[in-house]
A and B are shown apart, each in its own frame.
Chain A
Amino acid sequence: MDFSFLGKSVELGRIDGELRHLWETDDASTKASLVNFALYNEDPRSLADNHQMVARLTREHACRALLIAVDRDQPAPAARAWITAHCQLANGDRAICSEQVAFLIGGGGAEMIRNVVFAHLDSDLPLVFWWQGDFSDAFEDRLYSIIDRLIIDSGSWSRDPAGQFARLQQAHEDPSSRFVVNDISWTRSFHMRQGLAHCFDDAPSLRALPTIDRLQLTVAPHRQVAGLMLVAWIAARLERGITTDGSDVRLTDHHGQTPDIRVEVVDDPKPGVCIRSLELSGPGCRFQLHHDLGDSHLQLLSDTPGHQMRHVIPADHEDEADLVSEQLQRAGVNRLYFEMIPGLRRLLVRA
């Protein structure tokens, strides 16, 4: 494979010196870094996509980027490295640059991967670690104990998503860990959740909430996890239990005071938008959020007896780089995410 697009090939032991040399020869640029941003993938071909990804993300997020690709097929331990910089013109006059170090690691196992990360962090800056794909044995305590923010995309997990969530939860609860989780699948529904909150901002809508008995979601076929997260979140917010019986899913009131909410998750016949629509309805009331392909806005409708409200808010991003950028922009500890996971695991086991 040709990796020349990753910049200058350097020996692992000479990376720091080569980076210094890179800046010594360039008076016109400013090096900036707010975080260490590691992108980890167990497919060597990921280096090309991640290189492009970092080029985009550094427009708004100055960082030291570490691209780590693991080649599981390589028998003997070996590692190669490349350095380059991504520069953006600030205010039309000065170039602000972020360093990138790319690694291709073969046959070394978890320890080698971890040591490569340890050795090339920009000191004192937080570590944002984007683990791409399923968790492997490399995701172990001595690695995740140094991570400050863990980015994942649970929608991309190919093997046993419920088990992957259990692995994540276990690592998160490990006393040695301190990382905050940013799940791209969860971010895909951020504005949808915000929009749903908007729908119940007024008294007539809020009064109608206990009468809701149906929830319908239209989701792109490959984005089922994002849709199920939304269902689990609604259940958690309404303090409902989730009961499943074959394909029948209901959100039930433990106290039996409000009707069950029947859940229907429909595959979008015209995929392209992660979650095309969400509708909560009951006798005489309807709350709808709709996102059309190509539209950067979400259309909101609250329809209760004698009262109708329409509103538009920004729609969720579809593009992965935009979603990660949004996560990097928005700090926070994301407690709600872990509140939602038990319900989600129930739904995933059923699926």
Chain B
Amino acid sequence: MPSNPFKESLISRQRPGPCSLVIFGATGDLTHRKLIPALYNLAVDGELPPQTKVLAFARRDKTDDDFRSELEEANRKHSRQGHDDAIWRHFAESIHYHRSEFQDDQGYASLADRLDQFDHQRGAPANRLFYLASAPEFFEPIMTHIRQADLNRPADGCWARVVCEKPFGTDLKSARSLNQVVSEAFDERDTYRIDHYLGKETAQNIMVLRFANALFEPLWRNRFVDHVQITCAENLGMEGGRGGYYDKSGALRDMVQNHLFQLLSLVAMEPPIGLSADAVRDEKVKVLRSLRPLVGPEQVGANVVRAQYTAGSVDGVVRPGYREEDRVDPASMTESYVALRLFIDTWRWSGVPFYIRVGKQLPKKATEISVHFKATPQIPFNTDAVRGGKNVLVIRIQPDEGIALRFLSKMPGSALRMEPVKMNFHYRDSFGKTSPEAYERLLLDAMAGDATLFARRDEVEAAWKFIDELQHAWHESESPPPMASYPAGSWGPKEADQLLGQDDRVWRRL
């Protein structure tokens, strides 16, 4: 088919063509809170390709109209740009509901018929995007049935892709098995493993900060960097029944394996040779492969702290302890907090510790990366003697996205006194418009065939390989490292402070 001459050069990024988006598990929270508002906002901005169809595949009995009404209510609550009845009416016409069990052959045969009908209405076959928003245990039957119904085979000139929601496996074995199942239906280039952290504006800005500015990259190495901290703090616990899922997962698997390792990769990667998806992901996976393994309870105990919160208060509200939370096993050994000291064995990062901490029921919600630079030599200024004397570059991922740089300045007066001062860039002050939600960017990228912000198979497996050793030491060794505790509303257990204290360092105060 010749290309559309009017499309060329109109915009700076690739525009996706018409597409049918099938969401499996579409009655869940993700569809209502994130996916539909994201698609609606793309429609508001004129970014959603015309003739896009959304087909919700789920087990509950609903009509198209029932489902659209539910989504309308959700969109009013969650849409970033508000709710416009006229746009919604037009957008909602493209949403359809398809009732079927995930293991029902007939359900997939009729799904194929409906997709063909959409193509017929368009007058030509369209692209197909399958979104796995169901519970992970259904990924395998869904993939198998998609393949058996030939839905993974696109028409000439079209594509068929799959987007997999997290968690992508619970360990290396299950991730490999899942990858195998997916790869039997879709090529790796058509597989999009979503990690919504990568869709955040500030996460994308890490590469721009590092590689588009001449200032930082020369310093971004062990000669100048003392250590790096990555913090992901949440001030919530197990509200809304989250305990059921979380107690089977824990902080390490729920956050570190995916989100925090993705941030770590972006901070520590070498410059990619280009901005293609594979060029970027080649460099990211090298970071994960270079992580010094922590094997056995002794190494894990020396470098990793796990903890659960006990009763306390956050923002003046009394909170129960983790084991008293709804749907949490009273004898649970699942961590609600984890702190790690990691080393990346490359020339660039040799000897530089990366400290990662993530936890629930901490004093505030914040995700930040801080790069702590080494002190200057003592001559002529003894900067070490000054409280907070070292330079720190902070990349705030959420909320209050921005970048801050701490440096020393002479205090006014006749004496030579120095104090740390901060240069602060806030996205919200400098750029008046709100950033698109991560799912808007990621859905559009999946439709446009840009996998840069999605995890590749080898990244996922490399991350699980590292995490599995920690899980093994905690849950299967004969002398597992202890489970520490911290009161809800504190900054974590004292053992985590000691982890840095041993190295004569402290956690950055957020």
Binding site for B on A (CB under 8 A): 30, 32, 34, 59-62, 88, 90-91, 96, 191, 193-194, 196-204, 206, 209, 234, 237-239, 296-297, 300, 304, 306-307, 309, 311-314, 329, 332, 335-336
Q: Which residues of B contact A90 (CB under 8 A)?
A: 428-429
Given the known A-B contacts A60-B432, A62-B429, A90-B428, are A202 and B18 also in contact in the complex, defined by CB atoms under 8 Å? yes
B218 within 8 A of A: no
Per the bound structure, the CA–CA distance linking A203 and B428 in Å amounts to: 42
Residue of A nearest to B2 (CB): A206
A34–chain B nearest beta-carbon distance, Å: 5
A201's partner among B44, B45, B50 (CB-CB below 8 A) is B50
Task: Say whether A206 contacts B1, CB under 8 Å.
Answer: yes
B111–chain A nearest beta-carbon distance, Å: 22
Per the bound structure, the CA–CA distance linking A314 and B42 in Å amounts to: 11
B8's partner among A201, A237, A332 (CB-CB below 8 A) is A237
Task: Say whether B46 contacts A336, CB under 8 Å.
Answer: no
Residues B71-126 near A (CB distance < 8 A): 84, 86-87, 90, 122-124, 126
Q: Which residues of B contact A88 (CB under 8 A)?
A: 432
B430 within 8 A of A: yes
Q: Which residues of B contact A238 (CB under 8 A)?
A: 5
Task: Say whether A197 contacts B7, CB under 8 Å.
Answer: yes
Per the bound structure, the CA–CA distance linking A34 and B427 in Å amounts to: 11
Task: Say whether A193 contacts B123, CB under 8 Å.
Answer: no
Given the known A-B contacts A197-B6, A197-B10, A237-B6, are A202 and B46 also in contact in the complex, defined by CB atoms under 8 Å? no
B31–chain A nearest beta-carbon distance, Å: 23
Given the known A-B contacts A201-B18, A202-B124, A307-B122, are A61 and B1 also in contact in the complex, defined by CB atoms under 8 Å? no
Task: Say whether A194 contacts B122, CB under 8 Å.
Answer: no
Interface bin, chain B: 20 to 34
A35–chain B nearest beta-carbon distance, Å: 10
Q: Which residues of B contact A96 (CB under 8 A)?
A: 429
Given the known A-B contacts A203-B123, A237-B8, are A61 and B17 also in contact in the complex, defined by CB atoms under 8 Å? no
Most-contacted residue by chain B among A88, A197, A202 (CB, 10 A): A202
A226–chain B nearest beta-carbon distance, Å: 16
B433 within 8 A of A: yes
Given the known A-B contacts A206-B4, A306-B123, A335-B9, are A32 and B49 also in contact in the complex, defined by CB atoms under 8 Å? no
Per the bound structure, the CA–CA distance linking A198 and B16 in Å amounts to: 10
Task: Say whether B51 contacts A193, CB under 8 Å.
Answer: no
B433–chain A nearest beta-carbon distance, Å: 6
A193's partner among B10, B429, B433 (CB-CB below 8 A) is B10
Q: Which residues of B contact A309 (CB under 8 A)?
A: 50-51, 122-123
Residue of B nearest to A58 (CB): B432
Given the known A-B contacts A203-B1, A312-B87, are A194 and B46 also in contact in the complex, defined by CB atoms under 8 Å? yes
A18–chain B nearest beta-carbon distance, Å: 22
Residues B28-64 near A (CB distance < 8 A): 44-46, 49-51
Q: Which residues of A contact B429 (CB under 8 A)?
A: 30, 32, 62, 90, 96
Residue of B nearest to A203 (CB): B124
B12 within 8 A of A: yes
Task: Say whether A202 contacts B122, CB under 8 Å.
Answer: yes
Per the bound structure, the CA–CA distance linking A209 and B7 in Å amounts to: 13
Residues B259-300 near A (CB distance < 8 A): none
Task: Say whether B50 contacts A300, CB under 8 Å.
Answer: yes
Task: Say whether B10 contacts A194, CB under 8 Å.
Answer: yes
Most-contacted residue by chain B among A88, A206, A239, A332 (CB, 10 A): A206
Residue of B nearest to A300 (CB): B50
Given the known A-B contacts A197-B6, A304-B123, A306-B123, are A32 and B430 also in contact in the complex, defined by CB atoms under 8 Å? yes
Q: Which residues of A contact B90 (CB under 8 A)?
A: 311-312
Q: Which residues of A contact B87 (CB under 8 A)?
A: 297, 312
Q: Which residues of A contact B84 (CB under 8 A)?
A: 296
A86–chain B nearest beta-carbon distance, Å: 12
Q: Which residues of B contact A198 (CB under 8 A)?
A: 49-50
B433's partner among A304, A329, A336 (CB-CB below 8 A) is A329
Contact with A along B411-433 (1 / 0, CB 8 A): 00000000000000000111111
Q: A60-B432, A201-B7 are in contact. List 10 more A-B contacts (CB 8 A).
A: A91-B428, A194-B46, A201-B17, A201-B50, A201-B51, A203-B124, A206-B4, A239-B5, A311-B51, A312-B90
Task: Say whether B433 contacts A204, CB under 8 Å.
Answer: no
Q: Which residues of B contact A201 (CB under 8 A)?
A: 4, 7, 17-18, 49-51
Q: Which residues of A contact B51 (CB under 8 A)?
A: 201-202, 309, 311
Task: Say whether B4 contacts A307, CB under 8 Å.
Answer: no
Q: Which residues of B contact A199 (CB under 8 A)?
A: 6, 50
A85–chain B nearest beta-carbon distance, Å: 14
Q: Which residues of A contact B428 (CB under 8 A)?
A: 90-91
Residue of B nearest to A205 (CB): B123
A6–chain B nearest beta-carbon distance, Å: 23
Per the bound structure, the CA–CA distance linking A140 and B94 in Å amounts to: 54
Per the bound structure, the CA–CA distance linking A28 and B246 in Å amounts to: 43
B402–chain A nearest beta-carbon distance, Å: 12
Per the bound structure, the CA–CA distance linking A16 and B126 in Å amounts to: 60
Per the bound structure, the CA–CA distance linking A239 and B10 in Å amounts to: 15
Q: Can you list 19 contacts pairing A with B, beta carbon distance less than 8 Å?
A: A30-B429, A32-B429, A62-B429, A191-B46, A194-B11, A198-B50, A200-B6, A201-B7, A201-B51, A202-B122, A202-B123, A203-B123, A209-B5, A239-B5, A297-B87, A309-B50, A309-B123, A312-B87, A314-B44
Q: Which residues of A contact B49 (CB under 8 A)?
A: 198, 201
B267–chain A nearest beta-carbon distance, Å: 26
B368–chain A nearest beta-carbon distance, Å: 19
Per the bound structure, the CA–CA distance linking A203 and B127 in Å amounts to: 12
Per the bound structure, the CA–CA distance linking A34 and B18 in Å amounts to: 37
Task: Say whether B50 contacts A311, CB under 8 Å.
Answer: yes
Residue of A nearest to B424 (CB): A30
Per the bound structure, the CA–CA distance linking A200 and B49 in Å amounts to: 11
Per the bound structure, the CA–CA distance linking A59 and B5 in Å amounts to: 36
Residue of B nearest to A307 (CB): B123
